[in-house]
Structure 1
């Protein structure tokens, strides 16, 4: 590891802070949480913008803490990979102690803020940090099953919003959880595909078969189909207060077919270009269906 630099600029400190807490990822997580909140809130009583703000802030701290702990644990492996070697800890711009202090403060703030919403929201936030840091991160160099474990904390944000709005866990947040759970497999396996060589340098096992082969691509297709089915399931009326109109269900289904197309294209082409296209399509998909769910609720 490089020695710590002696001089810093304000912009470099901000940039290192953003890299440590992965601001881009945090924003997407907060977006999912807010969408879940809007789905769970009683439309007649209106949106509580104070709770909305607390959820956004607590969600950011929760994700920031998880990412900071992750980068502390993986600092030596990050130094081996082109994608991560310039992160603040392996590059020597930030000490482990500083990162740990930030991670700990974020943990306390995140759980504390979520607790002010309701205890269940705080509990799920704490579970997310624990699973990501203490289970998923160590498993990444051991087995491809790490992706399945990582999908658990990754699926919490969407349902977290519902729990924040209702202080209740049932079929509705469970369905939101399953949507984001299944979504992560085509998303992260696509990333694992086009970054396969770089991940290999760090000893990470991300693809289900350990290889960029037809079997991995086929599993991506299978999980995408499961994702489509669970995403349109609320149209059946069997998911309690989480509902979906026929028109919205058709739009969600069409979006899913679009994502499936990119999975099939990867199966046919077996190249990094198709994997990148699938990854981008997956980001567009989850964002679009969350918007569709929310808009459909307030238009019904």
Structure 2
């Protein structure tokens, strides 16, 4: 009898946790936390576990809040697309009011956690939530420039870690911001290319030309080149304490060239398979690049 009672209870908790992960986009949030921690390690004079925990918790709350607000706003459009129709709100598993309450709670927890680190970190976290929710989200159905606007909150995490460690914004976090800013475009346009038909069902305008054509592919190539250039700038000693050794520069450059090859293949073939390969290459690049930066600092 006890097992029979516990089983439904366990199922409820399991489903609730699954919906929480879905509405906060747990995998995306974890990747953002990873970027923030990489920035923290690059900026820190002395590593403090309490700061790492606050940054990780606050960062997850920040991203989770943005995604929850986004899903509240886009609940009707999500119901039209195959990739989003089973999300908690359009599927009916979570009410709009509960999702909104969760988003507000996560916002408060995130901002307070980041404020404990320092006010600048909390400010940038709040700006990120505002831009993602109040500017990027409504623009997605209006203009492809939404991706440009969305690149700003998307580029904040790497920079945020440095600010959390130093309570300062200068050339170093600015460079980290620019690296992830330019990376956003090939990454999200590759994703937008793959999901173009589904995005159109929801009325989203994600590709720069509105089409899966050479114009879009050419812009992907150009932004990939800028990303590579900015990624190796710290090797030239002009970015303050953010520096890169020659071996690390070569590794980062080669990884960027691999991503550029995938971008060129998309320009040549203009198919979903090539777009998917570029998207996966971009995820690998940003993760490995951050690891190389951190390892290079400590060796």
Indicate whether the TM-score tops 0.5: yes
What is residue 4 of structure 2 aligned with on the other side?
A: none
1:178 aligns with 2:178: yes
Q: State the Cα deviation string for residues 237-273 of structure 1 (Å, max 9, x = none).
A: 0000000001100000000000000000101111000
Distance 1:286 1:93 in 2: 34
- Match of 1:255, SS? helix
Distance 1:157 1:126 in 2: 12
What is residue 31 of structure 2 aligned with on the other side?
A: 28
1:268 aligns with 2:271: no
Q: State the Cα deviation string for residues 85-119 of structure 1 (Å, max 9, x = none).
A: 00000011100000001000000000000000000
1:92-111 matched pairs, under 5 angstroms = 92-111=92-111
Alpha-carbon shift at residue 9 of structure 1 (Å): 1.9
Q: State the Cα deviation string for residues 134-171 of structure 1 (Å, max 9, x = none).
A: 00000000000000000000000000000000000000
Distance 1:154 1:218 in 2: 22
Distance 2:297 2:186 in 1: 27
What is residue 250 of structure 1 aligned with on the other side?
A: 250
TM-score (norm 1): 0.96
What is residue 3 of structure 1 aligned with on the other side?
A: none
Distance 1:258 1:225 in 2: 11
What is residue 135 of structure 1 aligned with on the other side?
A: 135
What is residue 277 of structure 2 aligned with on the other side?
A: 277
Distance 2:22 2:169 in 1: 33
Alpha-carbon shift at residue 12 of structure 1 (Å): 1.2
Distance 1:106 1:233 in 2: 36
What is residue 37 of structure 1 aligned with on the other side?
A: 40
Distance 1:194 1:80 in 2: 17
1:88-237 matched pairs, under 5 angstroms = 88-237=88-237
CA RMSD of aligned residues (A): 0.8
TM-score (norm 2): 0.96
What is residue 68 of structure 2 aligned with on the other side?
A: 68
Distance 2:34 2:144 in 1: 28
Alpha-carbon shift at residue 280 of structure 1 (Å): 0.3
Alpha-carbon shift at residue 10 of structure 1 (Å): 1.7
- Structure 1, unmatched stretches of 5+, are 1-6
Alpha-carbon shift at residue 174 of structure 1 (Å): 0.2
What is residue 19 of structure 2 aligned with on the other side?
A: 16
Alpha-carbon shift at residue 184 of structure 1 (Å): 0.5
Distance 1:104 1:183 in 2: 29
1:278-293 matched pairs, under 5 angstroms = 278-293=278-293
Q: State the Cα deviation string for residues 207-227 of structure 1 (Å, max 9, x = none).
A: 000000000000000000000
- Match of 1:131, SS? helix
Q: State the Cα deviation string for residues 30-58 of structure 1 (Å, max 9, x = none).
A: 0000000000011xxx3111101100000
* Number of residue pairs the alignment of both structures matches: 290
Alpha-carbon shift at residue 194 of structure 1 (Å): 0.6
Distance 1:248 1:14 in 2: 40
